[in-house]
Amino acid sequence: MIEVLKFYADWCTPCHVLSPIMDEIEKELGAKVTIKKIDVDADNNTAMKYGVLSIPTLVLIKDGKEVDRIVGLASKEAIQSKLSPHLA
């Protein structure tokens, strides 16, 4: 299972564009992926822990370790291609 930490802020337009894409991915992959949404304004400590400097940022976690990250707005296909190697 992959945990995706989605760092966002309410005022971030690209973050709002990314939300339905992540919802689709979560529906399609079901139990293979969990998405945890982290508001950088409300939880700045977690953002600092992961070195998040830009939003949106997706941090992919497998077995408790970061395996990849995507910074900025990405297409559904680009996100899926980053997730795929870690789902097996």
Q: What is the pLDDT of residues 3-58, one digit of tens each?
A: 999 999 999 999 999 999 999 999 999 899 999 999 999 999 999 999 999 999 99
Is the separation of the CB atoms in 68 and 78 below 8 Å? no
72 counts as catalytic: no
Whole-model pTM?
0.94
Q: Which two tokens stand for residue 4?
A: 């995706």
Q: What is the pLDDT of residue 36?
A: 97
Q: What is the pLDDT of residue 16?
A: 96
* Residue of 15, 38, 47, 55 marked active site: 15
Alpha-carbon gap, residue 7 to 2, rounded angstroms: 16
What domains are defined for the chain? 2-86 (3.40.30.10)
* Residue of 5, 12, 22, 61 marked active site: 12
Alpha-carbon gap, residue 40 to 10, rounded angstroms: 9
pLDDT band at 64 (very low <50, low <70, confident <90, very high): very high
Q: What is the pLDDT of residue 75?
A: 97
12 counts as catalytic: yes
Nearest to 56 by CA among 67, 41, 71, 69: 71
